[in-house]
């Protein structure tokens, strides 16, 4: 995905204590404020180097509000907050069960998955290896814990520029036996949670069958453990996205996994998360592109902490045009803004764009 974004500013507002708010340094105020950093003049005083600074006033106990240049008082002062695109860390968690030898549009599922990920010309990893920290984890077992170590995981740590190493790791492996998905998500998530780099952490699960467990490799009744592990990963800041290679995983389980992966209720959610059921190699490529490209250039770190209950009180502008909360943008967490749908696509068109955002006082804190 090409990306050329000029971010003028995410203008968050720090608030002074109001005389009636019990001393809360972030008291409510109805006015939102934002600042642009496009080099233009502002009402703030310009320094010798052309930069601008913004005074920040707080009411202290026993003191009056500080006067503005016009002699009025202010409870809120603009605070510059840098906003920058995030760098995702993506672990490709691949089902290595025996059914991956089954036919998939004229070739084994395992071969189709290898080509989708690692073909040097058309695969999804090679063109993104300098923008995404890719890791790989192949998982299976030999009759669960009854056959020895479980889960069996061949793992390669995330890093930039590692397409060749990941491709070689995949090429040297082959499908084995069982599908301990929940046990494997738990193990990979524990490693990923400890990964020291900033940015979103993602597991992309590619599986072709219902899960079993290390304790009970047969029958395949590992759905509850898979959901539990996925929910625990989300609680540790790791999102999980699921792609079915073939049609042997039920839609019900795929939907529950997809919801758990992004923190939604597994059942009864007002709006469900997307999952991907692919039936041929072309659909498999499209699914991986849809998942991975969604993290590149469309997530932004805010150097401020937004109250998620007040998230939609903010205003986000793309090229000066307002975007709709929960339709064009969401807050993934209290400091991560994500553009969605057409707004995200616009950032990937190779043109120069500006992104501005602001929240009213009381909705945000500046650390």
The pLDDT of residue 297 is 67
Residue 244 sits in a domain whose CATH number is: 3.40.50.410
330 and 251 in a single domain? The answer is no
DSSP line for 74-99: -SEEEE---EEE---EEEEEEE--GG
215 and 119 within one domain: yes
Same-domain check for residues 257 and 132: yes
CA–CA separation, 355 and 310 (whole Å): 20
Say if pTM beats, i.e. exceeds, 0.85: no
| DSSP assignments along 229-262, one per residue | HHHHHHHTTEEEEEEEESS-S-HHHHHHHHHHHT
- Do both 238 and 287 map to the same domain? yes
Same domain, 93 and 220: yes
Q: What is the pLDDT of residue 31?
A: 36
Residue where one domain finishes, among candidates 237, 260, 293:
293
Residue 65 domain-assigned? no
Q: Does the residue 263 lie in any domain?
A: yes
Residue 53 lies in a domain: no
- Do 358 and 221 lie in one domain? The reply is no
* Domain end position, chosen among 258, 276, 293: 293
Q: How far lies 223's CA from each of 21, 82, 95, 156, 179, in Å?
A: 49, 42, 15, 26, 11
In a domain, 44, yes or no: no
Number of domains in the chain: 2
Q: Please indicate, yes or no, whether residues 235 and 124 belong to a single structural domain of this protein.
A: yes
CA gap 183, 201 in Å, rounded: 19
| Any domain includes 327 | yes
Q: Let me know whether 258 and 313 are in one domain.
A: no
To the nearest 10 degrees (0 to 180), the angle between helices 109-118 and 163-171 is: 170
Clarify whether residues 241 and 280 are in a common domain.
Answer: yes
Q: Which domain holds residue 257?
A: 89-293
- Reading the block at residue 304, the tokens are 């401020």
**Per-run averaged pLDDT (10 residues), the chain, 367 residues:** 33 35 33 33 42 32 37 37 70 97 95 96 93 96 95 96 97 97 98 91 96 95 97 96 96 96 90 92 93 77 84 87 92 85 78 81 76
Unique residue bearing structure tokens 């990923």:
192
In a domain, 302, yes or no: yes
Whether residue 270 sits in one domain with residue 332: no
pLDDT at 165: 97
User: Is 51 a member of any domain?
Assistant: no
- 94: closest CA among 6, 207, 252? 207
Residue 340 to residue 14: CA distance in whole angstroms: 27
Q: Which residues of 68-91 are buried (b: 16+ CB within 10 A; e: fewer)?
A: eeeeeebbbbbbbbebebbbbbbb
Do both 288 and 311 map to the same domain?
Answer: no
Domain final residue, candidates 277, 293, 309: 293
Task: Note whether residue 57 is domain-resident.
Answer: no
Residue 17's beta-bridge partner residues? Answer: none
309 and 223 co-located in one domain = no
Residue 274 per-residue DSSP state = P
């Amino acid at each position: 995905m090409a990306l050329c974004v000029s971010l003028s500013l995410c203008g968050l507002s720090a608030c002074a204590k109001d005389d009636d708010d019990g001393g809360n340094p972030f008291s409510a105020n109805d006015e939102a404020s934002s600042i642009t950093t496009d080099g233009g003049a502002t009402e703030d005083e310009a320094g010798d180097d052309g930069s601008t600074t913004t005074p920040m006033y707080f009411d202290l106990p026993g003191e009056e509000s500080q006067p503005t240049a016009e002699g009025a008082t202010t409870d809120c002062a603009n605070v510059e907050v840098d906003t920058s695109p995030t760098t995702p860390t993506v672990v490709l968690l691949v089902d290595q069960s025996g059914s991956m030898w089954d036919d998939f549009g004229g070739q084994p599922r395992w071969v189709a998955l290898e080509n989708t990920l690692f073909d040097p010309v058309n695969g999804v990893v090679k063109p993104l290896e300098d923008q995404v920290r890719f890791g790989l984890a192949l998982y299976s077992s030999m009759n669960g814990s009854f056959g020895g170590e479980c889960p069996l995981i061949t793992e390669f740590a995330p890093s930039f520029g590692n397409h060749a190493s990941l491709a070689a790791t995949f090429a040297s492996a082959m499908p084995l036996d069982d599908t301990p998905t929940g046990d494997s998500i738990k193990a990979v998530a524990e490693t990923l949670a400890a990964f020291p780099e900033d940015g979103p952490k993602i597991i992309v699960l590619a599986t072709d069958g219902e899960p079993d467990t290390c304790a009970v490799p047969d029958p395949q009744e590992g759905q509850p453990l898979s959901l539990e592990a996925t929910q625990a990963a989300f609680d540790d800041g790791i999102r999980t996205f699921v792609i079915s290679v073939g049609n042997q995983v039920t839609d019900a389980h795929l939907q529950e996994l997809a919801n758990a992966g992004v923190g939604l209720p597994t059942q009864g959610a007002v709006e469900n998360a997307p999952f991907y059921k692919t039936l041929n190699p072309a659909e498999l490529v499209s699914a991986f592109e849809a998942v991975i490209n969604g993290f590149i250039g469309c997530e932004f770190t805010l150097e401020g902490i937004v109250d998620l209950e007040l998230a939609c009180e903010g205003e986000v502008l793309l090229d000066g045009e307002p975007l709709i909360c929960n339709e064009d943008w969401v807050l993934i967490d209290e400091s991560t803004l994500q553009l969605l749908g057409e707004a995200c696509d616009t950032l990937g068109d190779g043109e120069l764009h500006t992104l501005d955002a602001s929240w009213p006082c009381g909705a945000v804190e500046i650390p």
